Structure 1
Amino acid sequence: MHGSGLLSSSPAASRPIAVSVPVPTHSPPSHSAAFPEPPTPAPSPGPFSSGFFYSQTSQSPAPTEDPYSASLANLARDFSAIARSQREALLSALLDACDTSTLSFVLAYVSPLLKKDPFRVLPNEICLRILSHIDDPKALARAAQVSRRWAAVVSDDITWKTLCERLHYKKPSSDREYIPATQGQLSPPFVHTPAYGDPAAFSLPQNSPNVTTTISVSSPPTSSTPLTAMPISVTSTTTHDGELSMMESTYIPVVSSNIRPRSYRTLFKQRYMVDSAWLTGGLVTARHVTTDQGVVTCLHLTRKYVVVALDNSRIHVFTSDGRLIHTLTGHVMGVWAIMPWDDTLVSGGCDRDVRVWDLKTGRCKMVLHGHTSTVRCLKMSDSRTAISGSRDASLRVWDIETGTCKHVLLGHQASVRCLEVHGDICVSGSYDTTAKVWSISRGVLLHTLAGHFSQIYALAFDGVKIATGSLDTSVRIWSAESGQCLAVLQGHTSLVGQLQMLGDTLVTGSSDGSTRVWDLKRMACVHRLAAHDNSVTTLQFDEHRIVTGGSDGRVKVWNVKTGHHIRDLPCTYEAVWRIAFEDEKVVVLASRQNRTHMEVISFAPRMQDWEL
């Protein structure tokens, strides 16, 4: 100690206080001599005797701690040692002495301390129940970033299973499983009628063998990684007879994400990325341009094939991702009806013949004779039974294994324009203004549906309900069991030539340019879509979206639940003949500059963007 005579405080209240005092002048001053306190009793130590309120500045040769910080630490320790009532009294006194600014600081500091993380307190079952009410995947993604505990709960597969069920995301039934077209279509069979138009599309440069597209599939909003294209090979394809069939073919191999995911979280990620691509993305993975001006009469998309029929007698067969594998030649006039079933194709046309093809080899297996006019429509009820409808006003039931005609169904008075099959029941629509219900196995007429005032051009049938569209602008709903008319749906102002039914939802397209969505429970129109400037030439819908094509050359995507327009696919077509889509791609057939174009637009994410 220096000889300045300063009072020093000790951390221990019971410890004697040392004082430095001066010595007589005749002796040298001693700076190290310490004498005990005078015998006067020291006062009793208070609760803060060793803290900030009692301490005085101590001078040490080399201080190792900030006195203010040390005093705060002592205060906190002593505050914890006193009774709760004393703490509350002290805090009340301190808060009464604070101004508004200080009280605001106290409030901001104390509020977070009073909150608890519910996921650390509640059991997992309740946490998962809470998360099940969140239907926004972006909110779940943000929740997973709160803490490790939140991330663990959000990652539970039950959360993502609930979200998948809510958004109708379904797991594939098996890895890359292929099933017959009539059983494996992602939506119920829909009517294919001739359209009037032409395509061009997501313009890819045409003359370079190593072209890449600038159109990208948009990842979910949390990612902006574009989908880049693989090099495109440009080839010419010939038929079996060596005749040039395609002037130009461009094709990009694409890995589908239809491989079965290992978890619902992975499934949701895959489906969400596909849905996001439908909103803003798209990649042209195949383009084919014919050398001639054929009108597209039919398009079928199955798990294995894309099959296209034209009025120039040709049938083109592609892989499901758009690689041309066969051009089927045999018909001598326009082909107006085709029906694929697994690796078998049945076709009919203006030459009055029905042909059976092997899609693996591209060879014609047999030719079925019997109709006396154009074969206008075809369906299959099983792998060996085909039903054809003709302009000769008859329907024929064929055994395509033996090549024999099992039944001739007579009753219509004019051309049979359309037909649909469900199980053992066939429904046909005719220009005689009636539809008829037949038993396929027995070959007998069950019901005649009369009510339209003009030709029937389209119908849909789900086994219970029948919908018919007519030139009289109306749509009628019938009972397949009784043959009674259940409702007349009015609103279109021109020919209703496009129909598709899925559950209790019916979507109709008309030559007036509009598309209507009907609720068959209420038999009422729920959405009217001002779809196209001219005729709606083709449409398809599923649980998420409606895709329409028109003679104005546009392809439009709509929300099936709200009726809102989502987007126009960036096409430059003159008119659209046909469209067909599934989850990850859409096939467009159209015309441009007097040539028929086919394009496959993929919405599948890149393999590295989703985990298995």
Structure 2
Amino acid sequence: MSVLQKVCKSPDANDLEQVMSNSISLGPSSQQEIQGTDNSTPEDPPNKSIVTPFLASHLQDQDDCEKRFCYRHNPKVRFDRRSDETKMREIQSELEKLPRRDKEAITHVWSIFSAAPTQHRSLILKGLLSQCCFPQLSLISQEVSKLIKIDFIETLPSEIALKILCYLDCQSLCNAAQVSTRWKQLADDDRVWRYMCEQHIDRKCPQCGWGLPLMAVKKLQECSRRRRSNDMDSTEGIVERLPPRLDDCKPNVKRQKVNKKRPWKAVYSERYTVERNWRKGLYKIKRFEGHMDGVLCCQYDNNNLLMTGSYDKTIKIWNVETGKLLRTLTGHTRGVRTLAFDDQKLITGGLDSTIKVWNYRTGQCISTYTGHEEGVISVDFHEKLIVSGSADNTVKVWHVESRTCYTLRGHSDWVTCVKIHPKSNTLFSASDDSTVRMWDLKTNECLKVFGGIENNGHIGQIQCVIPFSLKDAIVTDFDEKLTDETQKQTEEQTQSDQDSVLQNPELPSHLLTASLDNTIKLWDLKTGKCVRTQFGHIEGVWSIAADTFRIVSGAHDKLIKVWDLQTGKCMHTFAGSSAPITCVALGDSRFVCGMENGDVKMYCFDA
């Protein structure tokens, strides 16, 4: 006999028979009670049964069965019944193979344990475990690991279960909804998905790293589409009427919100689909054909309107959904270099040195501003304030109400881009002199200059500047900490700046710039230094656009690149354009590019 056999040797058969006969010897009456049939034989010993009194004393304590049900055997709890049924069939099959006397003994052991109260059950189990060898203990471990699991979502109160589900990501929540009816009810609860939307929409979730587009004007698009459909039905001729002002749609949108409330899961699903398509590069292309010369500027406002300006001296207004040309505006005597619009007006700047303000719904030119000596390269506006940058190296600030104009001088070459930051009441201007200047719109003074080799600035003409603030941590080129000497120089430089303005909490935290040196740079506003340079284009970058999550760039190399704003990594490169990319515009689910040959393409990620 081996050592293992000696260690795992079972109790002597005679001893086991004696124990069984002394402890569970049954008379005919008790056998009939338990089995329901008369299994007595002449060979059975005439011992008095001790099972019947035990069962009789404890079964009467179980009158209120429902209160005594444990979690596993409670009929109100949906446990894994299939596995129980399978296991019972296996046990029954093995039981049928045993002799009759063994069946009776095993059955009565089960009956005693089933009728025993909790304390007695624990005592019986402890005694059985003390008699088990390692093979039996291994079997117990395997079986218990399957049976010890509990459906905590169904057992816990709904409030706690919902709190737990809020820690799951989107994919896990969808998987949880497939577990059972109860799980689906909780996983689809509006409170869970509202929390998901708050964690992801217009911001990046710190846990999963996903952020979803805002898409705040989705319902306004639908409203405008319905109104335009009604307007076009009553319009004669080939010229289509433009959509009404968004203010006209507000009552309908409010009434729609009252009558029908969208589930938060549907809101999340819509935005998740768009973000997934952005990440995977799944899109459809729409083309807008009509310009006779190169497209110089474009803007897409998420509200079903696209406007483009061209060397052919025209501005064209397009319906994004249908791709139809709604209106062509003429008035500039040379190419339209820049444009900006909102839901009321359109402002354009031309190479004819003029700035025009349009009512683009009627096609009427409201006013024309003259003052620049060379072509107007860039315009921007906020409320009653218009700013313009020109090839005459100046920036002009036009106050519409007071009819005054201030000229800001400082750049030594063309001013290629101007951007107003309304919160801080500042203006940023980019120039072909490879610098960006920050101006105070109250005093018209230059507050700071960004550029220079000492600040790792551009070595080519800067074509775009975008001020922005981001709460999430941004990955920079300088992961290591600054040395004491560098930190001291930075502090001295900061003290020499105009602290009262630069410490304004409303100022943007960073700047993005694009240059003809083929790079895109990220600047820290406080230090005035470039903290990240993004390489990838092989020719000059003409235009960039950015939102909370990404940057889109178009360059002379005929490529469009999509970058992650937080990390600076290139996510996608879109080739196939037949000409250099001169301008780009970005929306929540789409971006537009204009090309030197007059083509306009829209990449749609919500299809």
Q: Distance in 1 between matches of 2:127 and 2:26?
A: 29
Q: Does 1:579 align with 2:541?
A: no
1:13/1:45 contact within 8 Å kept: no
How far 1:521 sits from its partner (Å)?
Answer: 6.0
2:214/2:588 contact within 8 Å kept: no
What is the aligned partner in structure 2 of residue 92 from structure 1? 126
What is the aligned partner in structure 2 of residue 392 from structure 1? 373
Q: Distance in 2 between matches of 1:340 and 1:17?
A: 96
Secondary structure of the residue aligned to 2:266 is helix
- Map 1:122-133 to 2 at 5 A: 122-133=156-167
2:558/2:577 contact within 8 Å kept: yes
Q: Distance in 2 between matches of 1:102 and 1:325?
A: 82
How far 1:552 sits from its partner (Å)?
Answer: 0.7
| Aligned-partner residue type, residue 429 of structure 2 | T
Greater per-residue strand proportion: 1
How far 1:438 sits from its partner (Å)?
Answer: 5.0
What is the aligned partner in structure 1 of residue 563 from structure 2? 558
Residue of 482, 506, 514 corresponding to 2:511: 506
| Gap change, CA 1:449 and 1:104, over 3 Å in 2 | farther
Q: Distance in 1 between matches of 2:530 and 2:280?
A: 29
* RMSD of equivalent CA atoms: 4.1
Instruction: State the Cα deviation string for residues 505-547 of structure 1 (Å, max 9, x = none).
Output: 4321111111123454665545432141111111111112111
In the comparison of the two structures, how many residue pairs are matched? 448
2:388/2:397 contact within 8 Å kept: yes
1:426/1:437 contact within 8 Å kept: yes
| Gap change, CA 1:553 and 1:427, over 3 Å in 2 | same
| Gap change, CA 1:563 and 1:100, over 3 Å in 2 | farther
Q: Distance in 1 between matches of 2:378 and 2:117?
A: 91
Instruction: State the Cα deviation string for residues 180-219 of structure 1 (Å, max 9, x = none).
Output: 9xxxxxxxxxxxxxxxxxxxxxxxxxxxxxxxxxxxxxxx
1:554/1:573 contact within 8 Å kept: no
Secondary structure of the residue aligned to 1:469 is strand
How far 1:77 sits from its partner (Å)?
Answer: 1.9
What is the aligned partner in structure 2 of residue 106 from structure 1? 140
Secondary structure of the residue aligned to 1:103 is helix
What is the aligned partner in structure 1 of residue 279 from structure 2? 279
| Gap change, CA 1:283 and 1:534, over 3 Å in 2 | same
1:284/1:599 contact within 8 Å kept: no
How far 1:310 sits from its partner (Å)?
Answer: 1.4
Unaligned runs of 5+ in 2: 1-24, 56-95, 203-212, 225-236, 240-255, 470-507
| Gap change, CA 1:71 and 1:124, over 3 Å in 2 | same
2:348/2:379 contact within 8 Å kept: no
Residue of 127, 152, 159 corresponding to 1:118: 152
How far 1:327 sits from its partner (Å)?
Answer: 4.1
Greater per-residue helix proportion: 2
Residue of 29, 42, 47 corresponding to 1:43: 47
What is the aligned partner in structure 1 of residue 181 from structure 2? 148
Q: Does 1:461 align with 2:420?
A: yes
Q: Distance in 2 between matches of 1:131 and 1:83?
A: 37
- Map 1:112-511 to 2 at 5 A: 112-134=146-168, 136-167=169-200, 168=202, 169-170=213-214, 172=216, 175-177=219-221, 262-289=262-289, 292=292, 294-302=293-301, 303-321=303-321, 322-329=323-330, 331-342=332-343, 345=346, 347=348, 349-350=350-351, 359=360, 365-366=364-365, 388=369, 391-392=372-373, 417-430=377-390, 435=395, 437=397, 439-444=399-404, 452=411, 454-463=413-422, 464=424, 465-482=426-443, 483-486=445-448, 488=450, 490=455, 491-503=457-469, 504=508, 505-511=510-516
Secondary structure of the residue aligned to 1:533 is coil
Q: Distance in 2 between matches of 1:354 and 1:144?
A: 57
What is the aligned partner in structure 2 of residue 214 from structure 1? none
1:494/1:512 contact within 8 Å kept: yes
How far 1:454 sits from its partner (Å)?
Answer: 4.4
How far 1:549 sits from its partner (Å)?
Answer: 0.8
Secondary structure of the residue aligned to 2:220 is coil
Q: Distance in 1 between matches of 2:331 and 2:382?
A: 30
Higher relative contact order (CA 8 A, sep 6+): 1
Instruction: State the Cα deviation string for residues 401-457 of structure 1 (Å, max 9, x = none).
Output: xxxxxxxxxxxxxx65434322344444455655455543223466x7565554432
Secondary structure of the residue aligned to 2:553 is strand
Q: Distance in 1 between matches of 2:569 and 2:344?
A: 38
Secondary structure of the residue aligned to 2:184 is helix
Secondary structure of the residue aligned to 2:419 is strand
TM-score norm. by structure 1 comes to 0.62
| Gap change, CA 1:521 and 1:145, over 3 Å in 2 | farther
| Gap change, CA 1:85 and 1:272, over 3 Å in 2 | closer
Q: Distance in 2 between matches of 1:423 and 1:309?
A: 22
What is the aligned partner in structure 2 of residue 34 from structure 1? none
What is the aligned partner in structure 2 of residue 397 from structure 1? none
State percent identity of aligned pairs.
25
Secondary structure of the residue aligned to 1:557 is strand
Secondary structure of the residue aligned to 2:598 is strand
What is the aligned partner in structure 1 of residue 4 from structure 2? none
| Aligned-partner residue type, residue 91 of structure 1 | L
Unaligned runs of 5+ in 1: 1-6, 22-36, 52-62, 181-237, 241-258, 367-383, 394-414, 606-612
How far 1:325 sits from its partner (Å)?
Answer: 3.5
| Gap change, CA 1:552 and 1:476, over 3 Å in 2 | same
| Gap change, CA 1:299 and 1:9, over 3 Å in 2 | same
| Aligned-partner residue type, residue 307 of structure 1 | M
2:113/2:124 contact within 8 Å kept: no
Secondary structure of the residue aligned to 2:576 is coil
Q: Distance in 1 between matches of 2:159 and 2:267?
A: 22
Q: Distance in 2 between matches of 1:519 and 1:391?
A: 32
| Aligned-partner residue type, residue 188 of structure 2 | S
Q: Distance in 2 between matches of 1:338 and 1:50?
A: 94
Q: Distance in 2 between matches of 1:340 and 1:568?
A: 29
